[in-house]
């Protein structure tokens, strides 16, 4: 007991040397796993090491939270419906600075770190870029010492597992918690009640004023489950708090007592479905009621948690924006705005104007899409049923806003219609992006181009009214996971030359520039890449039974499968190479391995058919000896964070070929450049900024820019004209249609041809085909000049400093959040 007030107990939670770790691994076998450490196996060693590291994390977490508390820090609440964390074992060991000691401790049991981590399931609680960004941001907040929390949902099933059968995607459930999750702390004792459905009721308050309350609601409980996120070797640990839905009462006692035991359990089952599964749709909203319930569930619990902490300070509510800032990752958590209004007005009896002032200073919103059709809306009738009181608050926000618009732009009825939060049509919709813009003090895009495009397109009317509200923060990636950890050979080489500071100050990579022409350095650089290719070859063989050639040009496109990302353009290039090789086996100089990976949303028919096309072309190409000496195609199933960590370090050529103006930022592009891949890409998203940093001559930029795309669309774009004017293109398209890749079946890929012709080629694949194929010929030429290639490769890494998520988080901290990195204690 005497130890309660000191840090002594924390200090004795376990040492960081090999002996202490080994001892702890044995102890956890006994105390947590209930088994003999003399009979450990791969999985028990993973678990025991995870518990061992968690002991060290929780110690640092307590210290970090105490220090934030003592310094009265303003905190960041990062609200995201998705976190794509991947595996934690190596990254936690790295951040704790025990990666070598842990490796040695495991060696005593005859196991390597890589083997132990193979027993860990990816935490795949996200679809792609948006969720991965959230995880990189938590890593950077912890590393920089920015007080903050990540908040989301602890889905029981993450993004589905993709299997490929007969060339087609098959979805399987991702039962990632099946064997438990040793990293998390479930806090059963700290649950909040979340209300749903019911109705809004008017009543007269004691002071005579008219008030509202939300009554006759259904109730579920939100249980916090915490995953600890360490900073890199700085002793900081922050919290990712994920909510799990629990029934409000295990049994409905009335039913139970009346003897209807089974029906009394049904309630419980219904509540638990709320956190059951992640919606697997990247950017398209499905409009399903359960999804809306998920959004409100996690927002309600999070805002209650925030208010619990704030109330402990015993300050006036007007102080809230000085103590907390809520960053909304997309509009998914935007219901937080009317929720805070409801709490302040209905529960704390503040008036409307005070409450709105507080909200407007508390929330900030990050937009991730350029395409107007991808903006989130909810059917008004559905939202009125699920959240009647919130809808009434949204109407009042809108009523007041419409008055403001009217007085600024008298008589402009069209403008009122465009700007109304409620889209007034046959089936009225709630426009979540408009709500988010109105309730936030800052709205940001995620790259320089994207920040400009949203101002010109989707938010034009709002920019006229609130010009100062819009900005952009270019996305970033954590250099810990995406270089130090996933590419140890290259990391050691870099550290040997320029020292270790780059790990927390990525701009230091600039120091590699003078080495770009150094023959010996180039040679070492090449060997690192070759080493990573060998690792990938081994991984593909073991994991999928896929055999890859080692010393070829690795040409990689891994990301969600989507028309706007234009995997079809890449496969048209593959077919063109196939045609050339069929005509003349010596016509292609460079042996190229095209690697594809990515999941398609289960309901996205065309994306799934594109996967089928990739695999079908692959099957023909790979088995044709007149072709397969120069071209092979591999589709690696089930793309995910841990797979990206094996693919990206091995890549020579990074495919970033979206239609200009459609990819908001991209973060895959940054991971590849950081690992020395050269980009073949359009002037889209952050590709533009990568070009500015790395130099245009070190990339393969091709095709239309965003302005040309607009002009071309405006002037009437005709895909058939293009196809008939280009012999190679016509030939490639012909082979897609004539059954060459589908055993004579001419129907199978007709939908893809229809998208290019009958549906007008919305993503202008054909318009960029010639430029793309030509620039790929340039790629071949550069590849044959090995020195020149390696020089560019080094300069890509050297130019990647800007794309650290540390830089991105400092931008948010300085220009949006008004928080600063903390000194410790």
479 binds ligand PLP (CB under 6 A): no
Q: Which is nearer to ligand PLP, 52 or 478 (CB)?
A: 478
Q: What is the DSSP letter of 817?
A: I
Q: Which of 87, 559, 566, 782 binds ligand PLP (CB under 6 A)?
A: 559
CA distances from 50 to 44, 46, 90, 478, 631 (A): 10, 6, 10, 22, 42
**In angstroms, rounded to a whole number, what is the distance separating the alpha carbons of residues 294 and 448?**
32
**In angstroms, rounded to a whole number, what is the distance separating the alpha carbons of residues 238 and 139?**
9
Yes or no: say if 562 and 282 are a contact pair by the CB < 8 Å rule: yes
**In angstroms, rounded to a whole number, what is the distance separating the alpha carbons of residues 17 and 388?**
57
Q: How many CB atoms lie within 10 A of CB 404?
A: 12
Site for ligand PLP in 647-666 (CB under 6 A): 666
480 binds ligand PLP (CB under 6 A): no
Residue 188, burial from CB neighbour count under 10 angstroms (0-12, 13-18, 19+)? exposed
Q: Which of 223, 345, 644, 794 binds ligand PLP (CB under 6 A)?
A: 644
* Per-residue x/- track, 560-599, ligand PLP (CB under 6 A): x---------------------------------------
Q: Which is nearer to ligand PLP, 608 or 671 (CB)?
A: 671
Q: Is 542 considered catalytic here?
A: no
Q: Which is nearer to ligand PLP, 226 or 663 (CB)?
A: 663
Q: How far is the CB of 356 from ligand PLP (least distance, A)?
A: 36
283 binds ligand PLP (CB under 6 A): no
> Burial letters for 555-576: b for 16+ Cβ neighbours within 10 Å, e otherwise?
bbbbbbbbbbbbbbbbbbbbbb
135 binds ligand PLP (CB under 6 A): no
Q: Which residue in 565, 646, 782, 802 is the catalytic one?
A: 565
Q: Which residue in 302, 377, 576, 667 is the catalytic one?
A: 667
230 binds ligand PLP (CB under 6 A): no
Q: How far is the CB of 138 from ligand PLP (least distance, A)?
A: 15
Residue 268, burial from CB neighbour count under 10 angstroms (0-12, 13-18, 19+)? middle
Yes or no: say if 653 and 557 are a contact pair by the CB < 8 Å rule: no
Length of the chain: 825
Q: How far is the CB of 546 from ligand PLP (least distance, A)?
A: 18
Q: Which is nearer to ligand PLP, 679 or 797 (CB)?
A: 679
Q: Which is nearer to ligand PLP, 389 or 671 (CB)?
A: 671
Q: How many CB atoms lie within 10 A of CB 612?
A: 21
Phi/psi for 604 (5° steps) reads -100, 90
**In angstroms, rounded to a whole number, what is the distance separating the alpha carbons of residues 96 and 91?**
9
> Burial letters for 218-238: b for 16+ Cβ neighbours within 10 Å, e otherwise?
eebbbbbbbbbbbbbbbbbbb
Q: How far is the CB of 372 from ligand PLP (least distance, A)?
A: 20
Helices marked H in 426-561 = 432-439, 448-456, 460-465, 479, 488-498, 519-544
Q: Which residue in 560, 566, 646, 782 is the catalytic one?
A: 560
Specify the DSSP element, H or E, that contains 406. helix 388-408
Listed ranges 127-135, 139-147, 460-468, 768-776: which one lies at the site for ligand PLP (CB under 6 A): 127-135
| Nearest by Cα to 248 from 280, 271, 275 | 271
Tokens encoding 184: 């998390």
Separation of CA 80 from chain center: 10
Q: How far is the CB of 270 from ligand PLP (least distance, A)?
A: 32
132 binds ligand PLP (CB under 6 A): yes
Residue nearest to ligand PLP (CB): 668
Yes or no: say if 698 and 796 are a contact pair by the CB < 8 Å rule: yes
Q: Which is nearer to ligand PLP, 169 or 302 (CB)?
A: 169
Q: How far is the CB of 479 from ligand PLP (least distance, A)?
A: 14
Q: Which residue in 29, 54, 161, 368 is the catalytic one?
A: 368
**In angstroms, rounded to a whole number, what is the distance separating the alpha carbons of residues 234 and 824?**
9
Q: Which of 50, 641, 659, 809 binds ligand PLP (CB under 6 A)?
A: 641
Tokens encoding 183: 């990293």
Tokens 């990525």 sit on residue: 506
451 binds ligand PLP (CB under 6 A): no
85 binds ligand PLP (CB under 6 A): no
Q: Which is nearer to ligand PLP, 536 or 631 (CB)?
A: 536
Helix or strand or coil: residue 41? coil
Q: Which is nearer to ligand PLP, 214 or 482 (CB)?
A: 482
Q: How far is the CB of 617 from ligand PLP (least distance, A)?
A: 21
Half-sphere exposure of 678 (CA within 13 A, CB side): 27
* Per-residue x/- track, 177-216, ligand PLP (CB under 6 A): ----------------------------------------
Q: How far is the CB of 640 from ligand PLP (least distance, A)?
A: 5
Tokens 């968690």 sit on residue: 54
Q: How far is the CB of 324 from ligand PLP (least distance, A)?
A: 29
476 binds ligand PLP (CB under 6 A): no
Listed ranges 300-308, 313-321, 507-515, 633-641: which one lies at the site for ligand PLP (CB under 6 A): 633-641
Q: How far is the CB of 654 from ligand PLP (least distance, A)?
A: 9
Q: How far is the CB of 200 from ligand PLP (least distance, A)?
A: 41
Strand stretches in 135-209, DSSP E: 148-153, 161-165, 168-172, 184-186, 192-196, 199-204
**In angstroms, rounded to a whole number, what is the distance separating the alpha carbons of residues 65 and 63?**
6
Q: Which is nearer to ligand PLP, 176 or 521 (CB)?
A: 176
Listed ranges 128-136, 517-525, 570-578, 621-629: which one lies at the site for ligand PLP (CB under 6 A): 128-136
Q: Which residue in 29, 390, 455, 671 is the catalytic one?
A: 671
Residue 505, burial from CB neighbour count under 10 angstroms (0-12, 13-18, 19+)? middle
Q: Which residue in 63, 342, 559, 640 is the catalytic one?
A: 559
Q: How far is the CB of 283 from ligand PLP (least distance, A)?
A: 11
Listed ranges 89-97, 125-133, 265-273, 603-611: which one lies at the site for ligand PLP (CB under 6 A): 125-133
Q: Which of 33, 49, 129, 588 binds ligand PLP (CB under 6 A)?
A: 129
SS3 for 721-775 is HHHHHCHHHHHHHHHHHCCCCCCCCCCCCHHHHHHHCCCCCCCCHHHHHHHHHHH
Listed ranges 164-172, 531-539, 637-645, 751-759: which one lies at the site for ligand PLP (CB under 6 A): 637-645
Torsion angle, CA of 604/641/476/671, rounded to 10 degrees?
Answer: -100
Q: Is 667 considered catalytic here?
A: yes
| Nearest by Cα to 566 from 501, 658, 437 | 658
Listed ranges 190-198, 344-352, 439-447, 635-643: which one lies at the site for ligand PLP (CB under 6 A): 635-643
Q: Which is nearer to ligand PLP, 29 or 560 (CB)?
A: 560
Q: Total residues at the site for ligand PLP (CB under 6 A)? A: 13
Q: Which of 147, 182, 247, 668 binds ligand PLP (CB under 6 A)?
A: 668
Separation of CA 68 from chain center: 27
Applying CB under 6 A, the residues found at the interface with ligand PLP are 128-129, 132, 559-560, 639-641, 644, 666-668, 671
**What is the set of active-site residues?**
368, 559-560, 565, 667, 671
């Amino acid at each position: 007991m005497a130890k309660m007030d000191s840090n002594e107990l924390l200090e004795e939670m376990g040492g960081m040397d090999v002996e202490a770790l080994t001892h702890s691994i044995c102890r956890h076998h006994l105390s947590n796993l209930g088994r003999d450490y003399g009979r450990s196996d791969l999985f028990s060693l993973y678990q025991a090491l995870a518990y061992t590291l968690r002991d060290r994390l929780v110690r640092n977490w307590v210290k970090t939270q105490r220090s934030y508390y003592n310094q009265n820090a303003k905190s960041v609440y990062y609200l995201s419906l998705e976190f794509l964390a991947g595996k934690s074992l190596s990254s936690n060991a790295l951040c704790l600075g025990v990666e070598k000691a842990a490796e040695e401790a495991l060696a005593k049991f005859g196991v390597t770190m890589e083997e132990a981590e193979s027993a860990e399931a990816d935490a795949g609680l996200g679809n792609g870029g948006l969720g991965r960004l959230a995880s990189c941001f938590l890593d950077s907040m912890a590393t920089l010492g920015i007080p903050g929390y990540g908040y989301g949902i602890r889905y029981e099933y993450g993004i589905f597992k993709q299997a490929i059968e007969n060339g087609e995607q098959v979805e399987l459930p991702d039962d990632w918690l099946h064997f438990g999750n040793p990293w998390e702390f479930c806090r059963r004792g700290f649950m909040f009640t979340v209300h749903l459905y019911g109705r809004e009721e008017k009543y007269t308050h004691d002071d005579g004023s008219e008030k509202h309350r939300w009554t006759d609601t259904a109730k579920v409980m939100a249980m916090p489950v915490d995953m600890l996120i360490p900073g890199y070797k700085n002793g900081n640990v922050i919290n990712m708090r994920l909510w799990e839905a629990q029934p409000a009462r295990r049994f409905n006692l009335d039913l139970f007592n009346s003897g209807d035991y089974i029906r009394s359990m049904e309630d419980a089952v219904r509540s638990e479905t709320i956190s059951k599964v992640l919606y697997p749709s990247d950017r398209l909203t499905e409009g399903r009621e359960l999804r809306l319930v998920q959004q409100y569930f996690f927002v309600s619990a999070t805002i209650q948690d925030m208010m619990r902490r704030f109330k402990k300070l015993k300050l006036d509510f007007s102080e809230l924006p000085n103590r907390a800032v809520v960053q909304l990752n997309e509009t998914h958590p935007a219901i937080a705005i009317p929720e805070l209004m409801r709490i302040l007005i209905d529960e704390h009896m503040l008036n409307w104007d005070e409450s709105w002032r507080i909200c407007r200073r508390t929330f900030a919103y990050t937009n991730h899409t350029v395409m107007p059709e991808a903006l989130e809306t909810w059917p008004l009738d559905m939202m009125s049923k699920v959240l009647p009181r919130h809808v009434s608050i949204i109407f009042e926000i809108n009523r007041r806003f419409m008055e403001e618009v009217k007085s600024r732009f008298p008589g402009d009825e069209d403008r009122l219609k465009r700007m109304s939060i409620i889209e007034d049509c046959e089936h009225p919709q709630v426009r979540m992006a408009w709500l988010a813009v109105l309730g936030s003090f800052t709205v940001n895009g995620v790259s320089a181009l994207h920040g400009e495009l949203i101002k010109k397109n989707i938010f034009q009317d709002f920019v006229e009214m609130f010009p100062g509200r819009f900005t952009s923060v270019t996305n970033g990636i954590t250099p810990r996971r995406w270089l130090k950890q996933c590419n140890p050979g290259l990391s050691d080489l870099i550290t040997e030359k320029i020292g270790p500071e780059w790990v927390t100050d990525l701009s230091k990579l600039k120091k590699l520039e003078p080495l770009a022409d150094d023959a010996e350095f180039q040679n070492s650089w090449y060997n690192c890449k070759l080493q990573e290719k060998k690792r990938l070859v081994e991984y593909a063989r073991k994991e999928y039974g896929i055999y890859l050639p080692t010393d070829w040009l690795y040409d990689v496109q891994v990301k969600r499968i989507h028309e706007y990302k234009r995997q079809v353009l890449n496969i048209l290039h593959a077919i063109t190479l196939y045609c050339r090789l069929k005509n003349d086996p010596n016509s292609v100089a460079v042996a190229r391995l095209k690697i594809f990976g990515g999941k398609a949303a289960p309901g996205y028919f065309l994306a799934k058919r594109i996967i089928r096309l990739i695999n079908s072309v692959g099957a023909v190409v790979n088995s044709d000896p007149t072709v397969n000496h120069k071209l092979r195609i591999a589709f690696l199933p089930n793309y995910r964070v841990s797979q990206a960590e094996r693919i990206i370090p091995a890549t020579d050529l990074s495919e970033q070929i979206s239609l200009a103006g459609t990819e908001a930022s991209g973060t895959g592009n940054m991971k590849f450049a950081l690992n020395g891949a050269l980009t073949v890409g359009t002037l889209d998203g952050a590709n533009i900024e990568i070009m500015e940093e790395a130099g245009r001559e070190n990339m393969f930029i091709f095709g239309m820019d965003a302005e040309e795309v607009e002009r071309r669309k405006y002037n009437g774009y005709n895909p058939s004209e293009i196809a008939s004017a280009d012999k190679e293109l016509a030939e490639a398209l012909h082979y897609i249609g004539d059954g060459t890749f589908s055993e004579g079946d001419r129907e199978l890929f007709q939908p893809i041809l229809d998208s290019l012709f009958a549906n007008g080629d919305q993503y202008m694949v054909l318009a960029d085909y010639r430029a793309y194929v030509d620039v790929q010929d340039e790629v071949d030429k550069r590849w044959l000049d090995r020195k020149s290639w390696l020089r560019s490769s080094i300069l890509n890494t050297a130019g990647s400093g800007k794309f650290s998520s540390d830089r991105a988080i400092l931008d948010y901290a300085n220009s949006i959040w008004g928080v600063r990195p903390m000194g410790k204690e």
